[in-house]
Each structure stands twice: as structure tokens, then as C-alpha cells.
Amino acid sequence: MRILAIESATESASCALTQDGKVVAEFTLQNKQTHSQTLLPMIDAMCAMTGTKPDDLDVVAVSRGPGSFTGLRIGAATGKGIALPFDTKMASVPTLYGMACAIREASDRVIVPVIDARRQHVYAAAYSAGKDGTLTEELGECVISSADLTGKLQALGRQVLLTGDGVKVVLPALLSAGLDVRVCPPSLSYARAAGVALAAQSMADRGELITSDAMAPVYLRLSQAERKRREEKNLTGKEAQKCC
């Protein structure tokens, strides 16, 4: 199975090709250029160097969020455009799950990917890796404050492996609560397409592929206008956070 994977949810723009679980190629840029200008030239170069034609692909996988709203849409539109002509199936990969898949055999700690969500919050989830490498969700993806994440992880009562660009936001709180935390080294902790591809392989095995029409980002946050409108209508904060 040939998978093209795209990751543009955070600062890194990344694409990868895998064949039956092997990472054949992976290109990543983390230089603050806009994903709009870097992503497709990287995919083009990667396909050219590996002799891959778009209609050879079995799956186009996209990191579907949460993350930067604009980054997610650039990745999603790129993936949808590549998948549309040949009705290629798509994997809509939860970004945090992809990040966990990238390091899933590295530790028997509970893997906690965190992405900076601004306003003192992170997007977070927690997974534990089984002996065969499959991941079990311990904490579902959410927008969460440092204090609340600390509480959730204390309740799990496990050693923690933290990864992602949200580490700086939550680490002080986790450490001061006395949690046993290890931080993934920077060379492993950015969001990258190889993790998305490996996640997509698992999703394909589970029959979780979708059409390119159905693929859309998952933001976990409403737009500011929608939040304001809901607040004006006196809805509770909890309901206001729930979305698509």
C-alpha cells in the first residue's frame, strides 16, 4: 500500500511517502515560509525523486487537526486536490494521533502530544502503546489548560512522554505537580508526515478511509465570531467549545 501523507498543522510543512509501512521518503521544512508556497513544491520533488505518480497512490493522508486553522486548510485542500482526479481514498488523520504514531515504539510511557493553542491552552491527547505498537487512547483530543491537563494526567497515574510545540506551555505545571515527565528531544518532537503516514496505515487496516469529498479539518475550536455569538446567546462555555 502506497501512502502520500501531508502534515501542515503546525510550523512544520512536511510530506512523506510510505510503502507497506516503510518510510520511502520524507521532506520537512521548518523555516517559517508559508505552507502555501512550500508544500506542493516539496510533494512534486518527492514524487519526482521516487518516481511516484499521483495515480499510483492508494491513500492520500492528511493531518486533519487540531492545529493552525489556515495550515490545516492548506494541507486538506492539497490532499483533496491530489485525491480527487483518481478517486483516491483519504485518511483524515488526527494530528495528535499522527504525532504519537511517529514515536510510538520509543517508550512505554503514556505518549502525550501537545500543540500550542494560544491563550494559555494546548491541544492535547494521551495514548499508550501496546506491545504490537498499536495505540490506545487514554485521553481524547481536546483544548485544555495546563492545570486541567495536569489533573487528567495525575488521574491516569502513569509516567509521561511529552512531545510537540506545546511542551513549553504545559511543562512547568506538570513538573511542579510532581509528575514523572520526560520530554521528547527536539529532533523527534515536531509534527511530521511520516507519523501521519504510519497513522494512516493503521487507519486503512481498520477500514477508516474516506472519500476526498468528505475530508475536512477538525479545529476543536469555533471561529471567534461563532464563540461571541454563542456567548451572547448565553450558552455555557462547555457547549461553546464543542464543534465539528
Where does this chain bind another protein (CB under 8 A)? 34, 36-41, 43-44, 54-55, 69-70, 73-74, 76-86, 212-213, 215-217, 219, 223-226, 229, 244
* DSSP strands (E only) in the chain: 2-7, 13-19, 22-29, 59-63, 89-93, 110-116, 121-129, 135-145, 160-163, 181-183
Q: Could you tell me the smallest distance in angstroms from the CB atom of residue 74 to another protein?
A: 5
By the 10 Å C-beta count (0-12 exposed, 13-18 middle, 19+ buried), 53 is classed as exposed
Pick 80 or 89: Cβ nearer another protein: 80
Choice between 224 and 234, CB closer to another protein: 224
Task: Name the residue nearer to another protein (CB basis): 86 or 204.
Answer: 86
Cβ within 8 Å of residue 150, ≥6 positions away: 170, 173, 174, 177, 179
What pairing do the DSSP bridges indicate for beta strands 2-7 and 59-63?
parallel
Query: Which residue is listed with cell 475530508?
Result: 215
d(CA 235, CA 244): 17
Question: In whole angstroms, what is the distance from residue 13 CA to residue 25 CA?
Answer: 14
Closest approach of another protein to the CB of residue 77, in Å: 4
In whole angstroms, what is the distance from residue 21 CA to residue 40 CA?
A: 23
Residues 25 and 18: their CA atoms lie apart, in Å, by 7
Taking the complex as a whole, the smallest distance from the CB of residue 88 to another protein amounts, in Å, to: 9
The residue (of 184 and 209) whose beta carbon lies closer to another protein is 209
Of 16 and 160, the one with the shorter C-beta distance to another protein is 16
Q: How far apart are alpha carbons 241 and 3 in whole angstroms?
A: 33
Compare residues 66 and 217 and give the one whose CB is closer to another protein: 217
